[in-house]
Structure 1
Amino acid sequence: MSILILIFVLLLVIGLPIAFVLGGTSLFYFFFLSKVPMEMIGQKLYAGIDNFVLLAIPFFILAGELMNRSKITDALIEFSRILVGKIPGALAQVNIVASVFFAGITGAGVADTAALGSILIPAMTKEGYTPEYSAAVTCTSSVIGPIIPPSIVMIIYATCTGESVGALFAAGFIPGLMIALALMIMCFYYAIKQHHPRRTEKLTAKFVVTTLRKSIVALLCPIILIVGIFSGYFTPTEAAAVACLYAIIAGMFILKTLTLKDIWESLKISVVAGSVILLLISMAALFAQVLSIERVPAAIATGILAFTQNKYVFLLIMNGVLLIAGMLLDAGVNVMLIAPILLPVAIRLGITPLHFALVLLVNLNIGLVTPPMGVCLFAAAPIARVSFERVAKASLPFIAAEFVALLIMTYVPELILFVPRLLGYL
């Protein structure tokens, strides 16, 4: 294992994409350190993505692209202005609330950062917020995207562990709203301290009605998906396809802002992005086979159980490990590598699998904004036209607020389990 760790770190340091780091390390093991038949490599690569649920990933990516090109993002922002525009630090609050609504469409944090950031970061800067503060709010609120359903990383987790996608989706509502509330409190604090602007003009009934009429098209999409999945009318994969169909109908025939060229461009982007994720899953499955052959999960589980039999101590240790892991690797990769190792330990300590899943997923999604590998930070910095370092520094108080919310849901499991229990998943 020491040789494998060295190879893994070396490939990572020289700048190879993480999929090829996982694949290269695995191939080195099979060629030089193992007597496993070579035919097994191809079989494992294929088996890693031979799952109907994974079809939801490219479909949700496509739905997000279509919705963004249909200008549905604009409608969500205007609706958010009506809801929280009077609160101190109005645009920052709008940013967070818009992320909650957008989370019900895309399921990806980076998509949230790019779509909302391109509109709200310049708008916030124009109103007097510093560019780095605007980018920090956008980045940290994008964490909500993969927590509130639908969620691509939840689909990956379900594939790795066999957990119900519907149960994971149900469990994500309250944690996502808790993260949003923590960020809104932080924005309120800064608004009072730094005298951030808020909306002062009164809203006319005509403006509210017009905005609601435009927003209903955007808001219906997550409602259709959620009701459809939880009522059993369609599976999460079918829901993703329905989201694409709805986006095309809404964009072309209702809003009339989506063109055939937009659809073609969205298809190209979703094919590339979906292929990258599926390649990553396939390579991670191969690497997981290496770990299994070397009995690494069993060794780690034995070590943890020898150190502590207290589930609360285990959860604290897990949060610390995941914090470090989230700083270094993508959330999807961490899910595929860490979840199958820690889940059996959690179950032996009496932790509900669904509670464990959401604590792990929320923690790793916070990794989207933790330096040095926070991909949302990299996405927001060019939009704000400031350095990565400045955005990262401005994000720290908001990341701290997210960790407070994480600790609360870690030690009050009912906050995670309430909705799944209500819907009959527990």
Structure 2
Amino acid sequence: MVLGFLAVGVRLLLHPAHAWPVRLGAVIIALALAGCVLRVLPESSTPVNLLLALLVITGVLGAPIFALLGGAAVFLFWGAYTPLATIALSHYSLSTNPTIPALPLFTLAGYFLAEGGTSERMIRLIRATVGNLRAGPAIVTVGACGFFTSLTGASGVTILALGGLLVPFLTGARYSERQAIGLVTGTGSVGMLFAPCLPLILYAIIAQVEIKAMFLGGVGPGLLLALICVTWATRVRPAASEQKRGWGFDGREALRALNEAKWELLIPVVSLGGIFSGLATPVEAAAVTALYALLIEVLVYRDFSYRAIPRIARECGLLIGGVLLILGVAQAFTNYLVDAQVPAQLVDFVTANVSSKLVFIALLTVVLLLVGCMMDVFSAIIVVVPLIVPLGEAFGIDPVHLGILFLANLGLGFLTPPVGMNLFLASYRFGKPMSEVLRAAQPYFWLQLAAVLIISYWPTLTLALPRLFGF
């Protein structure tokens, strides 16, 4: 472990994440803050606090999140005279979790579909069936983004993969380029609330709730977000008299598109049908889904050959390996926090100073919004969820509702400057200045903020389906 962190440090020096002037200024600020912290802390804890301060500086230099969490766990356990083998045991206990294999298997299915022509076929199908409606282009965009994000688990990937298809499609429907970029950027994260999205599964594992309950809980809020985005995009679309020709309904084209996409339309049935019918566990359903996606892409559509399978599996393994590495060290870090009674102390502090559940939800929304604009979704789930679940229980918030609220806020954080991830990715994908992308996506930020508040203060929207199915 020591050699591993040494290798991370050497790599940071050889391959810095930022330009030297930026890092130098950040290091100076971090050192000043570390000095202030060390002056107010007890002398007995100075060595550990000094090491933690140095760890913060490495974070400023661009250290990966697993190195920060793992380093913090090592230093804290060392300062508490606890055997460091505890960290390895925490990682091992995580790897033996029976639901963990669902993560790589569902992700692999998404990678197979992304490698093929699934996105083009789904866009063609939705356009052929509802493209003649005034809301048609908006439905196509939101539906395609939601479907793709639910399978890949990353809204940024959706923007990069579908942006080149959807923006020309929307401009062809008489949207301005700015409106088209705003719609694609603003709706990229809608699919995070739909099964079998990876963040839903990861939250269920961390918070120890049923995966099926999370899948059901995301349906109502996800549809609300999609409906709000479609309604606004329809409102700003030019009038029908100004639209280009060729947008009328064509029954033959719809049937051709349906026939072409019929195998991919069965994916939700394959992935979710077995889970909710009781015929398969989430892991078994994930395995069947991955195999099904591979077979239809290689044997039916022939979008790629079997020679591409090792490369796709390797790319999927890099993503999942990173997630599991973060998850393992975060588990050790969380175990220290539990041993030090940090969650219990946090609950006592918050309940002593916040008496209203409504006020707590408002404060939580603000905090999660900040988290969403500063961290990626996987790191945020792993680090923040163990802290907020006890708080939610203290205020009587159902963990399923808390999870959907959490993910909806993270999705909103991706549109929040100055660090909103989707804004940066859209700026890169469309070759536009950050300020222009921000102005284009701004209406969807406010619309989704309103939706997040509805989700937060109307728990029935989230819990109706889980309760109907006995969760």
TM-score by length of 2: 0.83
Q: The residue matched to 1:54 in structure 2 has which SS? A: coil
Q: 1:410 to 1:218 in 2, by over 3 A?
A: same
Q: Could you list the per-position Cα deviations for residues 270-323 of structure 1 after superposition, in whole angstroms to 9, with x for gaps in the alignment?
A: 011111111111121122123223322122111110112321221111111111
Q: Is the 8 A contact 2:373 2:421 kept in 1?
A: no
Alignment match, 1:27: 74
**What is the CA–CA distance in structure 2 between the aligned matches of 1:261 and 1:381, rounded to whole Å?**
34
C-alpha displacement at 1:29, in angstroms?
2.6
Q: Is the 8 A contact 1:121 1:383 kept in 2?
A: no
Alignment match, 1:332: 378
Q: The residue matched to 1:320 in structure 2 has which SS? A: helix
C-alpha displacement at 1:405, in angstroms?
0.8
C-alpha displacement at 1:90, in angstroms?
4.6
- 1:44 lines up with 2:96 in the alignment: no
**What is the CA–CA distance in structure 2 between the aligned matches of 1:228 and 1:104, rounded to whole Å?**
18
- 1:390 lines up with 2:436 in the alignment: yes
Alignment match, 2:204: 158
Alignment of structure 1 residues 371-386 onto 2, 5 Å:
371-386=417-432
Unpaired stretches in structure 2, ≥5 consecutive residues: 1-33, 38-48
Q: Could you list the per-position Cα deviations for residues 359-403 of structure 1 after superposition, in whole angstroms to 9, with x for gaps in the alignment?
A: 112112322333333333333322212233432332222111111
Query: Match for 1:58: what amino acid?
Result: P
Q: 1:243 to 1:113 in 2, by over 3 A?
A: farther
**What is the CA–CA distance in structure 2 between the aligned matches of 1:126 and 1:7, rounded to whole Å?**
53
Q: Is the 8 A contact 1:122 1:384 kept in 2?
A: no
**What is the CA–CA distance in structure 1 between the aligned matches of 2:94 and 2:177, rounded to whole Å?**
42
Alignment match, 2:62: 15
Alignment of structure 1 residues 221-370 onto 2, 5 Å:
221-370=267-416
C-alpha displacement at 1:344, in angstroms?
2.0
C-alpha displacement at 1:139, in angstroms?
2.6
Between stretches 403-412 and 126-135, larger displacement belongs to: 126-135
Query: Match for 1:337: what amino acid?
Result: V
C-alpha displacement at 1:49, in angstroms?
3.5
Q: Is the 8 A contact 2:174 2:237 kept in 1?
A: no
Q: Is the 8 A contact 2:172 2:244 kept in 1?
A: no
Q: The residue matched to 2:266 in structure 1 has which SS? A: helix
Candidates 185, 188, 203, aligned match of 2:234: 188
**What is the CA–CA distance in structure 1 between the aligned matches of 2:399 and 2:453, rounded to whole Å?**
17
Q: The residue matched to 1:369 in structure 2 has which SS? A: coil
Between stretches 331-340 and 126-135, larger displacement belongs to: 126-135
Q: 1:424 to 1:95 in 2, by over 3 A?
A: same
**What is the CA–CA distance in structure 2 between the aligned matches of 1:190 and 1:28, rounded to whole Å?**
54
C-alpha displacement at 1:77, in angstroms?
0.4
Alignment match, 1:102: 148
Q: Greater relative contact order: 1 or 2 (C-alpha under 8 angstroms, separation 6 or more)? A: 1
Alignment of structure 1 residues 128-207 onto 2, 5 Å:
129-192=175-238, 197=243, 201-207=247-253
Q: Is the 8 A contact 1:106 1:145 kept in 2?
A: no
Query: Match for 1:211: what amino acid?
Result: A
Alignment match, 2:126: 80
Query: Match for 1:26: what amino acid?
Result: A
**What is the CA–CA distance in structure 1 between the aligned matches of 2:172 and 2:165, rounded to whole Å?**
11
Q: Is the 8 A contact 1:113 1:139 kept in 2?
A: yes
**What is the CA–CA distance in structure 1 between the aligned matches of 2:448 and 2:87, rounded to whole Å?**
40
C-alpha displacement at 1:193, in angstroms?
9.2
Q: Is the 8 A contact 1:75 1:215 kept in 2?
A: yes
- 1:410 lines up with 2:471 in the alignment: no
**What is the CA–CA distance in structure 2 between the aligned matches of 1:152 and 1:85, rounded to whole Å?**
30
**What is the CA–CA distance in structure 2 between the aligned matches of 1:422 and 1:5, rounded to whole Å?**
47
TM-score by length of 1: 0.91
**What is the CA–CA distance in structure 1 between the aligned matches of 2:244 and 2:214, rounded to whole Å?**
36
C-alpha displacement at 1:211, in angstroms?
0.8
Alignment match, 2:7: none
Q: Give the number of equivalent residue pairs.
A: 424
**What is the CA–CA distance in structure 2 between the aligned matches of 1:59 and 1:53, rounded to whole Å?**
11
Q: Is the 8 A contact 1:183 1:401 kept in 2?
A: yes
Q: Is the 8 A contact 1:19 1:283 kept in 2?
A: yes
Q: Is the 8 A contact 2:455 2:462 kept in 1?
A: yes
Moved over 6 A (4+): 193-196
**What is the CA–CA distance in structure 2 between the aligned matches of 1:343 and 1:169, rounded to whole Å?**
18
C-alpha displacement at 1:199, in angstroms?
6.3
C-alpha displacement at 1:262, in angstroms?
3.0
**What is the CA–CA distance in structure 2 between the aligned matches of 1:417 and 1:199, rounded to whole Å?**
44
Q: Is the 8 A contact 1:85 1:199 kept in 2?
A: no
Query: Match for 1:116: what amino acid?
Result: L
C-alpha displacement at 1:324, in angstroms?
1.0
**What is the CA–CA distance in structure 2 between the aligned matches of 1:276 and 1:51, rounded to whole Å?**
17
**What is the CA–CA distance in structure 2 between the aligned matches of 1:20 and 1:131, rounded to whole Å?**
41
Alignment match, 1:216: 262
Candidates 65, 80, 89, aligned match of 2:111: 65
Q: The residue matched to 1:52 in structure 2 has which SS? A: coil
Q: 1:377 to 1:240 in 2, by over 3 A?
A: farther
- Identity percentage of aligned residues: 29
**What is the CA–CA distance in structure 2 between the aligned matches of 1:116 and 1:29, rounded to whole Å?**
44
C-alpha displacement at 1:172, in angstroms?
0.8
Q: Is the 8 A contact 1:127 1:197 kept in 2?
A: yes
C-alpha displacement at 1:92, in angstroms?
4.0
Q: 1:341 to 1:94 in 2, by over 3 A?
A: same
Q: 1:156 to 1:284 in 2, by over 3 A?
A: same
